[in-house]
Amino acid sequence: MSLIIPKKYKQKLLPETTEIAIKDIKDRFQRQLAEALNLRRVTAPLFVLSGIGLNDDLNGVEHPVSFTIDAMGGAHAEVVHSLAKWKRAKLAAYDIAPGYGLYTDMNAIRTSEDLDNLHSLYVDQWDWEKTIRSEDRNLAYLKATVETIYAVVRDIEQHIYRQFPHITPRLPEKITFIHSEELLRQYPDKTPREREALAAKQYGAIFLLGIGAPLSNGEPHDGRAPDYDDWITPDGEGFRGLNGDIIFWDNILETPFELSSMGIRVSPESLAAQLEMRGCTDRSSLPFHRALLGGELPASIGGGIGQSRLCMFMLQKAHIGEVQASIWPKSQLEACKGAGMEIL
């Protein structure tokens, strides 16, 4: 996505007030999310050792920031992309019972990101993971969890409206569930991004199911690593995948706005199948994957919710740099300044 300059953009809060509102949103959201999903906060790593399979491979092409550790004989470490797999290992380490889980303040560096209104080198999100029973690995449980998260988001939106009445709510009462295969059948001549835009604009808020597995055209809707979300298991409604993305329609940028990727995590069987499909069965020998394939990790559901993304949407900002400090190209900074976007 290239930089979008919205017409007649006017910020609704000055930078100083924005900073106060950011803290309010983050404090309130993480507290309500923890209560709604029975999560407790844990301390998260900024980096992990290379070669143990704990870092998130995202779409499989991104390269993490890495460095050597002098005090450990030159061992290699890498800055996390996310904590998708680390969290599941923590559920096992803490022996967290079904129905309960954990969340973290995750900070990451993603050097492969395109820098635009929604994407930054710096990623901050609430990474959460919850132990579930084997029988909870189904579409109904996934949808109920999405609806719980969406209710918290809408409550935050109403709170911001009470604090700043000129920031009027935009989200619909309910989130709409659509499978990526349904969108492909509805709009066969459109790109995945165009299909997302049409659905998000029509409904206002969608959960797009089935991200990762090839669709009927032979291509996945979007990339997803093979070793955390379960995107291959039949969902009981004629499609595959127990995962998806929470996407809103941003009427300021006139574009889909992804807030969260989440899903029911792979079982030993679906992990083996997904590794086979992606041609990376060699990962089976890594410590994390060995533990999962050996049944040592609990069944779980989890995801990441963008902190700056949430603040940006709630405060109706046009650029993520208005709610977080990062590095941007000089040309982008100049374009934003000229359009009334004050980058922090």
Examine the residue annotation and report whether 245 is marked as an active-site residue of this protein.
yes
Candidates 30, 82, 120, 125; catalytic one? 125
235 included as an active-site residue:
no
Q: Which of 111, 124, 101, 105 has the alpha carbon at shortest distance from 38?
A: 101
Catalytic residue among 57, 78, 88, 110: 110
HEC per residue, the chain? CCCCCCCCCCCCCCHHHHHHHHHHHHHHHHHHHHHHHCEEECCCCCEEECCCCCCCCCCCCCCCCEEEEHHHCCEEEEECCCCHHHHHHHHHHCCCCCCCEEEEEEEEECCCCCCCCCCCCEEEEEEEEEECCHHHCCHHHHHHHHHHHHHHHHHHHHHHHHHCCCCCCCCCCCCEEEEHHHHHHHCCCCCHHHHHHHHHHHHCEEEEECCCCECCCCCECCCCCCCCECCCCECCCCCECCEEEEEEEECCCCEEEEEEEEEEECCHHHHHHHHHHHCCHHHHHCHHHHHHHCCCCCCEEEEEEEHHHHHHHHCCCCCHHHCCCCCCCHHHHHHHHHCCCCCC
Instruction: Give the whole-angstrom CA distance, residue 229 versus residue 238.
Output: 19
Active-site hit among 261, 308, 316, 326 = 261
| Burial bucket for residue 100 (CB in 10 Å: 0-12, 13-18, 19+) | middle
* Catalytic residue status for 31: no
Active site residue 261: yes
Catalytic-role residue among 56, 116, 136, 196: 56
Among residues 29, 25, 15, 75, the alpha carbon closest in space to that of 48 is found at: 75
**Annotation marks residue 125 as catalytic:** yes
Q: Catalytic residue, from 24, 113, 155, 258: name it.
A: 258
Of 78, 181, 245, 250, the active-site residue reads 245
Strand 75-79, strand 176-179: pairing: unpaired
Q: Establish whether 56 is a catalytic residue.
A: yes
Which residues are known to be catalytic? 56, 110, 125, 245, 258, 261
